[in-house]
Amino acid sequence: MSNNTGPLKQRLATYGIYAKKGLGQNFLHDRSYVRQIVEAAELAPGDVVVEIGPGPATLTYDLAEAVRPGGKVVAVEVDERLQKLLGDVQQQCPEVTVLWQDALQVDYGAVTAPYRTGDTFALVANLPYYITTPILMHLLEGNFPVSHLVLMVQKEVAERILASPGTKNYGALSVAVQYRCRGRMVAIVPPGAFVPAPKVSSAVIRLDRRAEPAVTVQNEAVFFRVVAAAFQQRRKTLLNALGVLAGDRTKETLHNQLHACGIDPVRRGETLTLEEFARVADLFV
């Protein structure tokens, strides 16, 4: 049983906390989604889990319970008004450690190292929506030893992350995440599950970090430059969109090179799979 059974509003009132919009504070109060998030994280006793933005600790109690005994919850929170509340949580759950830091600045490998017996850690967060993409990219590009992430994000962002080639939601974010992770939708969450209710729907996704990137490329930076150029002007053909990277190559040369690697130059970038992007990127190395 979780200790965190008191109604969220009462809890916030007890500690004099009001939600700050600027910090993306929409607090989850619907326990059914708390359960789904913790279940999706598949934590076991002894595991180390990082939680970004514990806020009033709604998820934190359940995460602590899931890794007990012997595990650790490393919670990263920027709002120091929560010190008393999270201090009291730590009294009840000694497996919780709070880092008072901006989640974008944290070296997650280093902060989990003292607690890890295995190589990896899990990460669970109801993310502050105003910095979802920068946090996600910091987590993935930082090459931290994270095995999997269970994240609450805006539904529209979840759809972009998980989108398939040729769909309207497929873009540079889909490629960046799918290059490093396998993803799946866990749950769609209505605004009413939060206090205060956000204007948009949310979704919980799970991302499993791949041992190796989804495709092999000669140069990762070039791969992402090609992806960025292809999606910069979505309505352009690949041939025209890649013009910015062509250097002194003529259009005809680029046309022939795309053909030679099996890509029709008049296709739009948004239709390319990761494997096709990798083939195109290698033309620019």
The residue among 173, 162, 147, 148 whose CA lies nearest residue 203 is 162
**β-strand partners of 122:** 49, 148
Q: Specify the 3-state DSSP secondary structure of 176.
A: helix
Residue with smaller CB distance to ligand SAM, 83 or 253? 83
Which of the ranges 48-56, 85-93, 140-148, 168-176 carries the binding residues for ligand SAM, by CB under 6 A? 48-56
Residue with smaller CB distance to ligand SAM, 139 or 254? 139
β-pairing, 121-126 vs 146-154, is parallel
Residue with smaller CB distance to ligand SAM, 89 or 175? 89
Looking up tokens 């995460």 gives 63
Residue with smaller CB distance to ligand SAM, 104 or 246? 104
Three-point CA angle 276, 134, 83, nearest 5°: 150
24 scored as a contact of ligand SAM (CB under 6 A): yes
Shortest Å, Cβ 55 to ligand SAM: 3
Shortest Å, Cβ 86 to ligand SAM: 10
- Helices then strands (H, E): number in the chain? 12, 9
126 marked as part of a ligand binding site: yes
58 scored as a contact of ligand SAM (CB under 6 A): yes
49 scored as a contact of ligand SAM (CB under 6 A): no
Q: Which residues of 181-203 are buried (b: 16+ CB within 10 A; e: fewer)?
A: bebeebbebeeebbbeebeeebb
| CA pair distance 243, 246, nearest whole angstrom | 5
Shortest Å, Cβ 284 to ligand SAM: 35
4, 126, 174, 178: residue in contact with ligand SAM (rule CB under 6 A): 126
Q: Is 117:93 a contact under the CB 8 Å cutoff?
A: no
The residue type of 124 is V
Shortest Å, Cβ 7 to ligand SAM: 13
Q: What is the dihedral of CA 31, 33, 37, 39, to 10 degrees?
A: 70
Q: Is 226:198 a contact under the CB 8 Å cutoff?
A: no
Residue with smaller CB distance to ligand SAM, 82 or 245? 82
28 marked as part of a ligand binding site: yes
15, 23, 138, 265: residue in contact with ligand SAM (rule CB under 6 A): 23
Shortest Å, Cβ 267 to ligand SAM: 39
67, 95, 122, 128: residue in contact with ligand SAM (rule CB under 6 A): 128
Q: Is 155:128 a contact under the CB 8 Å cutoff?
A: no
Could you give the string, one character per residue 64-103, with x where binding to ligand SAM holds by CB under 6 A and - elsewhere?
------------xxxx----------------------xx
Q: Specify the 3-state DSSP secondary structure of 187.
A: strand
256 marked as part of a ligand binding site: no
Residue ranges for the binding site?
Answer: 26, 28, 53, 77, 102, 126
Binding site for ligand SAM (CB under 6 A): 23-28, 52-55, 58-59, 76-79, 102-104, 126, 128, 131
